[in-house]
Amino acid sequence: MPASPVAPSEPVAAKPEPGPETVATPAVAPGTAAEGRFLVHLGIYAEAGNAADLVKKLNDRGFKAFSEATEFKGKAARQVRVGPFQDRAEAEAARIRIKQQFSSVPGSVIALAGDLRQDAPAKASRESQVSGWAVQLGAFSSIDEANKLQGRLQAAGFAGFVDKLSADGKVFWRVRAGPEVERANAEKLRDRIKDKLKLDGIVVNQS
């Protein structure tokens, strides 16, 4: 499980700035901001090794991740980011996919202002925290039943996933397809699933 980034209330351990060989992916060089205007910010880490480990895991999953030097409370740290992306919708879709695969890693979409080497705000604006949309196809008390339905979705070519819900002391496993950034696209996905698998779904907010 990826290490959690430092919280604002936690002191950052004083660590010497690591050399290039300790960073899994080099920071993006100045001048590449033209490639995109948005990034997914995944936290600031006191331990360079934790940042490098997360970058490697993200890259192994197909995300364009990198870390770069920053400071937290006057001490050296590393921040992990994915991108850049041409528009906010593309970055938001990536944030949702990362959240599905790395549930313990906080993520927010940030807008670039000039060079990528400049520090962007660590906290996302309300606009950047817009959630995506998914199609919910059922909720089961048995994870085996949920996994069976997920398997049907994937066999039919849909991106299905299972997430856990606790309510009134009980645990349920929800089966969803997506996510999509735009609700209209989620509605189209719901209709395609209905046509192909004869399953009724509802469009829900996916954070």
Is the pLDDT at 129 greater than 70, yes or no?
A: no
For residue 2, the model assigns a pLDDT of 63
Is the pLDDT at 124 greater than 60, yes or no?
A: no
For residue 113, the model assigns a pLDDT of 55
Is the pLDDT at 32 greater than 50, yes or no?
A: no
For residue 198, the model assigns a pLDDT of 95
With a pLDDT cut of 70, the percent of the chain lying above it is 73
CB atoms near residue 10 (< 10 Å): 12
CA dist., res. 116 & res. 119, Å (int): 8
CATH of span 20-129 = 3.30.70.1070
For residue 161, the model assigns a pLDDT of 80
Greater confidence, 93 or 20? 93
CATH architecture of 132-206: 2-Layer Sandwich (3.30)
Burial of residue 41 (CB within 10 Å: 0-12, 13-18, 19+) is: buried
CA dist., res. 157 & res. 57, Å (int): 25
pLDDT band at residue 64 under the 50/70/90 scheme: very high
For residue 3, the model assigns a pLDDT of 63
What's the longest Cα–Cα distance across the chain?
59
Is the pLDDT at 193 greater than 90, yes or no?
A: yes
20-129 and 132-206 share one fold: yes
Domain-wise residue ranges, the chain: 20-129, 132-206
pLDDT band at residue 56 under the 50/70/90 scheme: very high
For residue 191, the model assigns a pLDDT of 95
For residue 14, the model assigns a pLDDT of 34
For residue 109, the model assigns a pLDDT of 83
Contact (CB, 8 A) for 96 and 105: no
Greater confidence, 56 or 46? 56
Sheet with 108-111, side-by-side order of all strands:
65-72, 75-85, 38-45, 108-111
